[in-house]
């Protein structure tokens, strides 16, 4: 069956995006995608280099007559967020993405699409192959493991790049140029737990689902529900009113995704089923009222399950539920300088029982380093009060906006020529790799732009086809003008 993107324009870009959807590329497992990129570079006789962790740098000489142009680079990341709805039989390590078209939008069947950052990577590859784009000396940077904490960018060495202009192709809103971003930090809480024999005679699976989720930087201000907090609050209440014994608890998928789903397996005597279900129905009604139009699909359901033989010690279960219900989550401060921009936030992201511990993952973001560290300290304090050990890792810097830089002035001039108006200059509450890599190259001027991608990091992810066409026209015009 022909691909739904086979006939889309620009064909030189979409053919590579189509290929990438067929290549499994979860974070840390980008080897096949990297080989695809290297194969194209080798076929065209381009210079290839890289680093010890797997980031790739490819150099392409200037188009005839553009040899004296200022060197620039195009950058994108090879990995994608792997999110799917519960019950969907999709293995991200082996299965291709099933791409669907809905009018002017592309989406995937029940999974993330990988337009973040597949479209940016595909655009770079199209430029790499092109004989028609009249560009100056170019470098192409393809990084790994961006989605779990910008790890590839963090390990990227100084002294490798030659370009003055750094063009990141990972922005997700047409008509905008991103000129700054937040720094981030991961904070993990762990509690050693005891297991004991279950005393209740029936098993139940509690499920929180139907939430939108989304990117913990881009969507943190949208008022969406957090499945872990909802689950924690319900368990806290249920354990106060019924002899509920918690056997397992899990939820969330990644530190940079707002958790959409969470689950708990509990033991509770069969005669208490009616009361337990009534509590779930009441809690669902309360959350629907609380979230309103921000997240109207929230569901709290109870399913019959096999009775667990072992359950968590009551105190361990109680402290875990209390922490989930009380953990800071969401916007902590708005920017005083840029209207509508979140300045500092924290995301309650994941929970799992592993190797005798309950582990809770969170992430903090801020454009201000001291505020980022203060947010992490606040989370650490709350976790320690609940008897959890806490450690932070994966910190990365923010990127200070420079709206008057030479590259921004050039990009604005081209934007007016192509679209008839200047772009809106924005800063992102998400982390961008140009901020991390750029810190190692003082004097390098940076900008980020791209097509419109909605709901990245969730199975609702979709990309606007017409915006990709505009993105390609703009990228070509920029490369020919700088």
**Any idea which residues carry the catalytic annotation?**
79, 146
Verify cis geometry, omega within 30 degrees of 0, for the bond prior to 327: no
Q: How far apart, in Å, are the Cα atoms of 372 and each of 221, 251, 356, 388?
A: 17, 24, 30, 21
CB atoms within 10 A of CB 440: 15
- Under the phi-then-psi rule, with left for phi > 0, alpha for psi from -120 to 50, and beta for the rest, what region is 394? left
Bridging pattern class, strands 138-143 and 56-60: antiparallel
């Amino acid at each position: 069956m022909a691909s739904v993107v086979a006939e889309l324009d620009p064909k030189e870009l979409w053919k590579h995006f189509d290929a990438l959807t067929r290549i499994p590329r979860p974070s840390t497992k980008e080897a096949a995608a990297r080989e695809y990129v290297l194969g194209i570079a080798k076929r065209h006789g381009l210079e290839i280099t890289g680093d010890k962790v797997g980031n790739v740098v490819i150099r392409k000489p200037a188009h005839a007559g553009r040899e004296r142009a200022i060197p620039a680079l195009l950058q994108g990341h090879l990995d994608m967020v792997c999110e799917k709805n519960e019950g969907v039989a999709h293995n991200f390590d082996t299965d291709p993405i099933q791409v669907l078209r809905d009018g002017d939008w592309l989406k995937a069947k029940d999974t993330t699409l990988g337009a973040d950052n597949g479209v940016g990577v595909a655009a770079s590859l199209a430029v790499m192959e092109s004989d028609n784009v009249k560009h100056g000396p170019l470098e192409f940077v393809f990084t790994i493991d961006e989605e779990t904490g910008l790890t590839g960018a963090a390990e990227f060495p100084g002294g490798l790049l030659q370009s003055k202009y750094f063009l990141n192709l990972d922005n997700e809103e047409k008509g905008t140029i991103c000129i700054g971003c937040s720094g981030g930090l991961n904070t993990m809480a762990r509690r050693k737990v005891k297991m004991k024999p279950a005393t209740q005679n029936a098993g139940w699976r509690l499920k929180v689902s139907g939430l939108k989720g989304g990117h913990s930087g881009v969507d943190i201000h949208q008022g969406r529900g957090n499945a872990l907090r909802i689950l924690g609050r319900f368990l806290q209440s249920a354990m106060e009113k019924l002899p509920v014994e918690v056997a397992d608890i899990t939820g969330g998928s990644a530190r940079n995704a707002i958790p959409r789903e969470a689950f708990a397996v509990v033991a509770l005597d069969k005669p208490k089923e009616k009361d337990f279900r009534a509590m779930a129905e009441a809690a669902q009604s309360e959350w629907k009222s609380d979230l309103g139009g921000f997240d109207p699909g929230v569901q709290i359901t109870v399913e019959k399950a096999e009775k667990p033989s072992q359950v968590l010690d009551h105190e361990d279960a109680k402290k875990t539920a209390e922490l989930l219900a009380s953990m800071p989550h969401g916007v902590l401060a708005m920017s005083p300088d840029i209207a509508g921009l979140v300045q500092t936030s924290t995301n309650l992201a994941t929970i799992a029982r592993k190797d005798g511990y309950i582990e809770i993952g969170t992430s903090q973001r801020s454009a201000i380093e001291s505020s980022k560290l203060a947010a992490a300290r606040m989370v650490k304090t709350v976790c320690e009060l609940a008897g959890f050990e806490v450690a932070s890792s994966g910190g990365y810097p923010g990127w200070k906006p420079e709206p008057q830089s030479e590259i921004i002035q050039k990009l604005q001039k081209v934007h007016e020529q192509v679209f008839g108006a200047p772009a809106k200059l924005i800063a992102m509450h998400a982390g961008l790799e140009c901020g991390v890599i750029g810190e190692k190259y003082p004097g390098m001027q940076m900008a980020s732009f791209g097509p419109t991608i909605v709901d990245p990091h969730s199975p609702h992810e979709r990309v606007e086809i017409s915006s990709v066409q505009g993105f390609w026209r703009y990228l070509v015009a920029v490369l020919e003008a700088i």
